[in-house]
Amino acid sequence: EVQLVESGGGLVQPGGSLRLSCAASGFTFSTFWMNWVRQAPGKGLEWVANIKQDGSEKYYVDSVKGRFTVSRDNAKNSLYLQMNGLRAEDTAVYYCAREVLPQDYMDVWGKGTTVTVSS
Amino acid sequence: DIQMTQSPSSLSASVGDRVTITCRASQTISSYLNWYQQKPGKAPKLLIYSASTLQSGVPSRFSGSGSGTDFTLTISSLQPEDFATYYCQLSYSNPQTFGQGTKVEIK
């Protein structure tokens, strides 16, 4: 079964750090671009970042540039999001999602992990 | 960056109604437009990709159309399980962008 499972969410103080993980199974992880998408409470979806199959290209939404870093370990079938300098506005459910080329759609999503930034 | 405008933000409809949701891009994006359905507490689900291609397993009452800057998601006959929030997504370039969402509620 094709599956993505996020972990690593929790409560963190403003200015703190957190590392999210996404474990992939049931497909050849190394052949797909991967994405992080978040959803603040009661709000819509916001694309956060993505990373190429070999990690050589990474893109970010402006609001997280310089604070968040996306990475992957193809040997471990895992995607990561290192989040530093967290702000209250980063509070959200974070989803990882697989991207299919060349049409660039996200066909497999995890259930999400919740990040709460609060003092 | 390319901006997406999705409308309406919400609508009320009855079972059996035909429902149309639109997305407009601030510049041409060819057919790099996808549609997702999200139910409360759940992850988004892909419905339509490349503007008009139905994802495997999605009922045929869902359809998508458009190219360039104007796109439409149509539900031909609304079913009880279709009450949810729908998002368009631009995938033409990075940063990718989601529309603001359309909440479809029961009339």
Q: How much is the pLDDT for B15?
A: 96
The structure tokens listed for A119 are 């003092």
Q: How much is the pLDDT for B23?
A: 98
Please give, rounded to a whole number of angstroms, the shortest distance from the CA of A107 to a CA of chain B.
6
Q: How far apart are CA B75 and CA B71, in angstroms?
A: 14
Cβ distance of A105 and B44 shorter than 8 Å? no
Q: How much is the pLDDT for A23?
A: 98
Whether B94 and B29 have beta carbons less than 8 Å apart is answered as no
B86 has a chain A CB within 8 A of its CB: no
B97 has a chain A CB within 8 A of its CB: yes
Residues of A in contact with B44 (CB under 8 A): 37, 45, 95, 97, 106, 109
Q: How much is the pLDDT for B94?
A: 85
Chain B's closest residue to A111, CA to CA, is: B43
Cβ distance of B55 and A107 shorter than 8 Å? yes
Q: How far apart are CA A64 and CA A36, in angstroms?
A: 12
Cβ distance of A106 and B89 shorter than 8 Å? yes
Chain B's closest residue to A52, CA to CA, is: B94
Q: How much is the pLDDT for A55?
A: 97
Indicate the residue of B43, B50, B99 with minimum beta-carbon distance to A95.
B43
Q: How far apart are CA B87 and CA A30, in angstroms?
A: 28
Cβ distance of B101 and A44 shorter than 8 Å? yes
Over chain A (119 residues), what is each successive 10-residue block's mean pLDDT? 98 98 98 97 97 97 97 98 98 98 93 98
Q: How much is the pLDDT for A103?
A: 84
Say whether the peptide bond before residue B8 is cis (omega within 30 degrees of 0): yes
Q: How far apart are CA A11 and CA B102, in angstroms?
A: 30
Chain A's closest residue to B56, CA to CA, is: A107
The structure tokens listed for A72 are 């992957």
Q: Which stretches of chain B score pLDDT less than 70? A: none
C-alpha distance from residue A95 to each of A92, B92, B107 (Å)? 9, 21, 31
Q: How far apart are CA A80 and CA A83, in angstroms?
A: 10
Cβ distance of A103 and B50 shorter than 8 Å? yes
Cβ distance of A44 and B53 shorter than 8 Å? no
3-state secondary structure of A73: strand
